[in-house]
Structure 1
Amino acid sequence: MNIVNKLTIRHLKENKRRTLVTILGTIISAAMISAVATLGVSYADLLKKDHIEANGDWHVVYKDLSFEQTEGIRNDSETEILSLIQESGFAKLEDPPTKNKPYLFIQKMNEEAYEQFSVEISEGRLPQSEDELIISESAEDVHLEIGDTLTLEVGTRYSDSTWAVEQGEFLTNDNQVDMDEEGNQIETLIDTEEMTYTIVGSFERPGWERGWSPSYMALSSLDLTKPLMSETMDAYVSLNSLNRSLYDHASGLAEELDISSVSFNGGLLQLSGITASDTMDRTRLGLLVVIISIIIIGSVALIFNAFAISVSERSRHLGMLSSVGATKKQKRNSVFFEGFIVGIISIPIGILSGIAGIAVTFAVINPIIDSIGLDESLKVVVTPFSMVAAVLISAATIFISTWLPAHRASRITAMDAIRQTHDIKLKNKTVRTSNYVRKWLGLEAELGLKNLKRNKKRYHITVLSLIVSIVLFLSVSYFTQSLKQSYQLAEDTVNYDVQVYTTEEEILPELLERIGELTDVTDYQLRKETNLTMYVDEDEIAPEINKSHIMQDEDGRYIYSVNLTALDEKSLHDYAKQAGFDGNLNDTELAAIVVDDISYEDYELGKYIETKAIRTEVGRTLPLFEENWETNKRKDLPPLTVSVLTGEVPMGPKNQGPGSLEVIVSESTFESILSETEEAFVNQSVYMTSDNPTVTQMELEQLEFFNQFAIDNLHDIRESDAQMITVISVFIYGFITLITLISLANILNTISTGVALRKREFAMLRSVGMTQASFKKMMMYESAFYGIKSLFYGIPISIAIMYLIYYQTQYGFTYTFQVPWLHVLGVIVAIFGIVSLAMLYSLAKTKQETIIEGLTQENQ
């Protein structure tokens, strides 16, 4: 080790306080990099586990395969795990607990499938042959016990109803029971075969068993030693390697083996970083580059601050080296060597601190996740790649951060160090302030401003630290909010638990009354809907909408489908208030609320779009008409007046997309329009939310007029949507809290260090008679100057980065850019408050020192 490095180590040991401050700044930076890497990997792991729980752990599925085709897939070089599932069919229960679940649905699975689809045995064991069954715990009301022997007629569901014929007459497990108007089952089982099973166990209800399905799940073993030529099966494949080529490879394999149906587990592949869409890949890559760049720049600024303060304080030491013949290279290398020593100590501590911080954060978050019923919880996942990346990024940021201070150090001469010309500027022009500062704010404000001008490097370092904190917080806040908005665009969320549908209008009053008496029902809403038409000019269509998706007539006019919806009086009043309408829409004839905000997936462009359904304004009319598409006869209807434009959607399904418009009116207006039509068909449904949808469904089924309506329970889907939104929200606020704490540590570290280096200055001011009150006032003004300057630069830079993040999302999503002004306001208040508290806290630590101690003390 050369003499300059030895002197550097000695100087670090002698100046413990400055060394600790430098190490602390570097630890904070390394902790931020490590925490972000760990958080991202752990969160992706949670989403993957949750998706696997709900859909299984597979990448590609091939449908309706022969035994020979499955062997071809098994022998493919890319196949890692092959799960085979064969549907035995449906068996009718003798005494089902509910009309909507009259079946057992029996599937055969090989050993790999049981593992890949997360089948967890709760009692008994797995089936070992095709005549053994395990029953889902959801069938507890069926009263089947382990050891029971069942002789069942297993077959295929068949119905000749119009809607069933349209899908090929055969009903799947996704189709509810087909009933007539009296509530009697009109579907049958065909191609039945008598089969005998022994129940050998029960299994926990998996996420892929839907609560609204017409059957209870039962699983058997798939015996591949005796495949039947007439039976087909589905192959779910986990691949050896995941990359974009898997789509072409799977399609090519399907063509080679003459397989007609191949599809992909898009959700799991996306969470693994693989998409079939170039636009989504560009979005993902762009966001990754932006957020990593923000973190690296923030880290460089954090560490640069520490080393800039270090070089400023070491100016005498560097001048001493220069006076005894040290070259520029040796002085520069002494700073690089200091960075190396600091990195060796700080990076391991920082990375471990970041991981520990995430572990503590997860310990706080997991009870929240458990409370919303999510099966999986956040676990700290540390991968070799994420840790190597964190070490390399931390090392790179230390090197980049020391580059400028090192070159600055190389230029310090012995005379510069004695005069302190690199730090202290005493020219009159440099420290000149406006006369209005003293006149309006007093001597303390003028002194505070002169202090900042006198040592601009320290001032700029502090301001830079504040700017970095502002940019980090606002950028990460907008980034995480963009993630949430993108998820909500990509997923059609359900806002109700149970739907009751009827064509019998005369039962509606009693039905609503009885629903209102159900104790578990928290809210309900009657919707009457009919579909009408209107013409729209081209300039009324938002530019984000792909006009090729909208129908045009022979004259080139665009045709919009209008979903006219009437709400019951109470629901309409509540909804109108929510939409921002002050009056009573029930008393306003031909008044309408137009849902003009829509979101949909444009498959042609490969992106999700949020935009306006139509460009209109309050007070304009909607020229509705009814058109008979067979005779091409058109009948004009009374025009509706737009009273409110809103993005709020009433309870029920969303009727959104290009060329469609959701219009909400009162029942009286609805009847007025309907009376002018000739062939309009009306759908009538009651949508409700419930604390216990299963109990609510059973209570509805016990009504004496149950045969006059149908029930659809979508609670599982709604609960899944709500859980994911909650998890994303928890992640967002956890991430923002993490960045906030790091920013606070950065601000407190920088300001307290800056104040600690000014002990001699404070002692000198006390020596000429400045009181403690004046000190406090001066420091408060300095805080204000720091805050104003940092906000002046920080907010515009943050908005620019927000727009860059927004721009990257537009490859896969289209929505309007909005600055989160509430967060900006919070940052403004927080900056002034935090800077002031940091100044006062640091100043309080010097309060007890005497003037002599302050004038003679060296920073140790």
Structure 2
Amino acid sequence: MNVFNKVTLESLKKNRTRTIVTIIGIMLSAAMICASTTLVSSMQNFVLRCAIHIDGDWYGAVYDAAYKDYEDIRNSDRVSSTAYAQVLGYAKIDSANERKPYLYVLGGDVASGYFKTMPVHLILGTLPKDSTEIILPEHLTSNGKVNYKLGDTVTLDVGDRTLDGRRLGQDTPVYTYDSETQVEIMSGERLENTEPRTYTVVGIYERPTFEDYSAPGYTALTAADTKSADQSPIHCYFKLHKPAGVYDFMKEMGYTQEYRYAYNTKVLLYSGTAPFDSFLTAFYSLAAIIIALIVFGSVSLIYNAFSISVSERTRQFGLLSSVGATRKQLRRMVLFEALAVSIVGIPLGILVGIGGIGITLLLIGDKFFSIVRVDIPMRLCVSWQAVVIAAVIALVTVLISAWIPSKRATRVSAVEAIRQSMDIKVSGRPVRTSKLAYKLFGLPGVLAGKHYKRNRKKYRTTVVSLFMSIVLFVSAAAFTDYMMESAEGGLASDQFDLIYAAESDASSAMTPDALLELLFSEQNVTGGTYTKKQFLQGDISREYVTAMFADRFADFGMEREDAAPKNLSISGYLYFVADAEFNRLLEKYNLKEADYYDRDNPLGIALDRNIELDRRLEKYVTLDTLKGDGCVIEGLYYVEIDGYYRKDSRIDENGNKVVLYQNRDNENDIIELPYEESFAKYTLRSEKTIEEAPFFVSRSTPVAINMIYPYSMLESVVPEAALNQFRNTEYFLTSSNHTASFENLAPVLTENGLSSRQLFDYAANAETNRNVVTIVRVFAYGFIVLISLIAAANVFNTISTNISLRRREFAMLKSVGMTQKGFRRMMNCECLLYGSKALLLGLPVSCGITYLIYRAVTTAYETFFHLPWAAIGIAVLSVFLVVFATMIYAMRKAKKDNPIDALKNENL
């Protein structure tokens, strides 16, 4: 080891406090970078494993293809793996679910790994080994009431579903929905080309996610018959070497035009490919801001540490230069110092970062389980790439932080370095200070002001340190605020905990108030009300709605605004809430009861503003429907006829539109009604619009508008022809312990002759969204804590070292008679100078970075720009608090110095 390195190590040992703070800064920097990369790696690994478990390990799928298409895909050099299933057909079964009367038989190819590629999770038994064995889904028993046991032999007449000679697939339900008449109609399909097939039941598996809930058949799986693979339609699933190429691959192969196809969007998203660029843009923008803040904070701390170290050793560099040391050798001394502290700080930081994330994931791991609802553990995933990236970034940060001050110091001549005269600039003009400083702090304040102006470089380091600390803290707080807002807004959860839907016959046996009182008897129930709710559909005049709503629902074929229809369709929900709860709403908004209980002219309260995913803009948006408080909606309900269902509509011989009602028991018994008589119109009026949803209104399903009326006004608002559609009464309850309330209320309802089947623990489902928000909050506030530690260490290191460097100056002032009180006044003045200058520079820059964070978030979630005022207030107070506290600590050490010894000290 050469003499320069030995001198450097001795300097590090002598200045232990500064060395320790520098190592801590490097350690925090490496820890945050490594923690960030490890967290991303762990989260990506977890969600990818969950997505594969739920949806299967494939990127693209082509349905009802030919075996030749499968061979073409398999033989492509861009494809990494393939699997297929034969579509063997449908078999009629004795299902209790009239919408699922079939067993849908697929033959998975064992050789290509179909059962590993697709999400087939056995509950009992084994997977089929050949085309004589079959496994059945669990919901065939629970939903269809068809019971088979392991070992049973099943003979099925398997054929094709057809309608008017056209073959139907699993995506075509038994019932079709007529959008014009708003009713479901049986399709009238037939089962043709049947062939008997005999199977042995060898397993029961979980309901497959690749079976849609509206699918007409329960999916049964057997092994594919490879000999007849080219005689049946094929469902082909494949993966590419590069996930991002799947969209172009499907287009180039022509599958997007001629076939039914699908993309495994969640697996692709977690593999780094998203159909909506805006979400990835927001993610990468925020990630870039996080890394930039970490590097920014690290550079500020480490740079200041080395800047102070170099400034402290300037006389030493001057002496070495005078005896022949070159600039290159001096720079190497500083770089050796940087490597010495990095060897200790970076490995410790990487261990702390990995350990911190590991402990965090261990503590909140159960939150992830409730989100994904699958038995997949959240585990720490440390990739060597993440560790190397963290180490390299931290090392580069340290080297840059050391190189800049070393280059500046080596430019100083040996004489100037020994005399220490380069930092103080004295001009012929007198240095003027503020009269206010003299009035507040006297002569010590004047001295502080003059010293600040003459020695700007040393003060600049302290001000820059404070400036960076302010920017880091406020920016981190803004980042957290926007992340929490987007998480809570995009994952909005409702305020009620339990729902009980009382059937019409049950509610008639007990009044709503009496049943509510019964539900209140459970000790954990803290509140609740009841409502009658129905889907609202109608028309609203353009004069009442916002331009945003009109634009979203306008006829895009209209070239002129005056050609557009005056009325727009609107949908939502119509609530009739218990009078007592409605009166609380009136009291909250200072509304008169008489206006809302007028049976001749009933008024309602309109609930507006929703957060929903706009697929055109590819982000969450806040939608305001109404311009102001007043609105009139022409609602309508389709008329029902007892014993009949609304089947279809047609044009009669006179050119008039009529609606057909068919008897539920006799298909030949049909009633025709003129179209105008098939629905009832009524008017809804409101003179008050609110945006804060009452606890009984669900926000989970966004709608254009909700109208709220008193329960007693139901018959005055809704026409008699539509009253029978308000069958059920829903009870919304809040509870201090929703699990206990759910368990206790079920027997209470049964004892009183009421069904407990319609009691739902809604809070258990909403726990998922709350856990997402909790996870975001844990990591967001952890980020703020680490950034704050870097900022605090930065300020402490800068100020305390600067005070140490001024020991001779303080000794000189003591020697000419400055008292301890005078010292305190001078340092208080300096603290105010530090803080005010740093705030003057830091707050505007913080606001600018906050705006950049806002712009990044708005690519995926619509919100308004706002500043983190609480964080700004904390920053203002903390700046002066930290400065004064550090100054007191440093001055206590300087106070112990003997003035004569300090004046004789040449080792600055």
Shared topology, TM-score over 0.5?
Answer: yes
Aligned residue in 2 for 1:295: 294
Task: Verify: 1:131 aligned to 2:133, yes or no.
Answer: yes
Match of 1:799 among 817, 839, 847: 847
Q: Displacement, 1:249?
A: 0.6
Aligned residue in 2 for 1:175: none
Task: Verify: 1:565 aligned to 2:574, yes or no.
Answer: yes
Q: Measure, in 1, the Cα distance between the counterparts of 2:592 and 2:786.
A: 47
Aligned residue in 1 for 2:643: none
Q: Measure, in 2, the Cα distance between the counterparts of 1:531 and 1:806.
A: 36
Q: Displacement, 1:731?
A: 3.0
Q: Which AA in structure 1 matches 2:360?
A: T
More divergent stretch after superposition (467-476 vs 666-675): 666-675
Q: Which AA in structure 2 matches 1:642?
A: K
More divergent stretch after superposition (1-10 vs 32-41): 1-10
Q: Which AA in structure 1 matches 2:698?
A: G
Match of 1:691 among 735, 739, 746: 739
Contact 1:83 1:113 in 2 (8 A): yes
Match of 1:651 among 686, 689, 697: 697
Give the TM-score of the pair, scaled to structure 2: 0.74
Contact 1:532 1:562 in 2 (8 A): yes
Q: Displacement, 1:316?
A: 0.5
- Deviation per residue, 1:695-729 (Å, 9 max, x gap): 79988997999999989998886454444333333
Give the TM-score of the pair, scaled to structure 1: 0.78
Q: Which AA in structure 2 matches 1:353?
A: V
Secondary structure at 1:615 match in 2 = coil
Cα distance change, pair 403–831 in 1 and its aligned pair in 2 (3 A): same
Aligned residue in 1 for 2:381: 381
Cα distance change, pair 662–384 in 1 and its aligned pair in 2 (3 A): same
Q: Which AA in structure 2 matches 1:644?
A: I
- Deviation per residue, 1:9-60 (Å, 9 max, x gap): 6655665554444444333333332232223333333333343444333322
- Deviation per residue, 1:195-225 (Å, 9 max, x gap): 654455x77x689599999999997553443
Q: Measure, in 2, the Cα distance between the counterparts of 1:81 and 1:311.
A: 59
Secondary structure at 1:814 match in 2 = coil
Matches within 5 A, 1:165-204: 168-170=172-174, 197-199=200-202
More divergent stretch after superposition (219-228 vs 638-647): 219-228
Q: Measure, in 2, the Cα distance between the counterparts of 1:12 and 1:305.
A: 15
User: Structure 1 unaligned runs (5+)?
Assistant: 173-178
Aligned residue in 2 for 1:602: 614
More divergent stretch after superposition (644-653 vs 385-394): 644-653
**Identity of paired residues, percent?**
28
Aligned residue in 2 for 1:308: 307
- Deviation per residue, 1:495-530 (Å, 9 max, x gap): 777684968897496578557746698866524233
More divergent stretch after superposition (699-708 vs 281-290): 699-708
Cα distance change, pair 506–516 in 1 and its aligned pair in 2 (3 A): closer
Secondary structure at 2:261 match in 1 = strand
Cα distance change, pair 812–8 in 1 and its aligned pair in 2 (3 A): same
Aligned residue in 2 for 1:353: 352
Q: Measure, in 1, the Cα distance between the counterparts of 2:803 and 2:468.
A: 19
Matches within 5 A, 1:608-757: 608-616=620-628, 620-626=629-635, 637=683, 639-646=685-692, 650-652=696-698, 656=702, 660-668=704-712, 671-675=715-719, 686=730, 688=732, 691=739, 718-757=766-805
Secondary structure at 1:817 match in 2 = coil
Q: Measure, in 1, the Cα distance between the counterparts of 2:140 and 2:816.
A: 83
Q: Measure, in 2, the Cα distance between the counterparts of 1:306 and 1:230.
A: 76
Matches within 5 A, 1:29-48: 29-48=29-48
Q: Which AA in structure 1 matches 2:620?
A: Y
Question: Is the radius of gyration larger for structure 1 or structure 2?
Answer: 2
Matches within 5 A, 1:23-34: 23-34=23-34
Q: Measure, in 2, the Cα distance between the counterparts of 1:796 and 1:474.
A: 11
User: Structure 2 unaligned runs (5+)?
Assistant: 177-182, 638-656, 658-674
Q: Measure, in 1, the Cα distance between the counterparts of 2:490 and 2:787.
A: 27
Q: Measure, in 2, the Cα distance between the counterparts of 1:232 and 1:702.
A: 51
Contact 2:85 2:109 in 1 (8 A): yes
Aligned residue in 1 for 2:421: 421
Q: Measure, in 2, the Cα distance between the counterparts of 1:643 and 1:198.
A: 60
Task: Verify: 1:531 aligned to 2:537, yes or no.
Answer: yes
Secondary structure at 1:691 match in 2 = helix
Cα distance change, pair 356–855 in 1 and its aligned pair in 2 (3 A): farther
Q: Displacement, 1:133?
A: 3.9
Task: Verify: 1:789 aligned to 2:795, yes or no.
Answer: no
Q: Measure, in 2, the Cα distance between the counterparts of 1:642 and 1:832.
A: 48
Q: Measure, in 2, the Cα distance between the counterparts of 1:819 and 1:213.
A: 47
Q: Displacement, 1:549?
A: 6.6
Q: Measure, in 1, the Cα distance between the counterparts of 2:312 and 2:140.
A: 71
Contact 1:586 1:668 in 2 (8 A): no
Q: Which AA in structure 1 matches 2:43?
A: Y
- Deviation per residue, 1:157-191 (Å, 9 max, x gap): 9999xxx999854279xxxxxx99xxxx9999978
Q: Measure, in 2, the Cα distance between the counterparts of 1:342 and 1:413.
A: 28
Contact 2:540 2:569 in 1 (8 A): yes
Matches within 5 A, 1:108-507: 112-116=113-117, 126-129=127-130, 131=133, 133=135, 149=152, 151=154, 168-170=172-174, 197-199=200-202, 208=209, 220-225=221-226, 227=228, 232=233, 234-243=235-244, 245-253=245-253, 255=255, 260-326=259-325, 331-332=330-331, 334-336=333-335, 338-366=337-365, 369=368, 375-376=375-376, 378-424=378-424, 432-440=432-440, 452-453=452-453, 455-486=455-486, 500=501, 507=508
Cα distance change, pair 564–352 in 1 and its aligned pair in 2 (3 A): closer
Q: Displacement, 1:800?
A: 1.0
Secondary structure at 1:532 match in 2 = strand
Q: Displacement, 1:531?
A: 2.4
Aligned residue in 1 for 2:589: 581
Contact 1:53 1:118 in 2 (8 A): yes
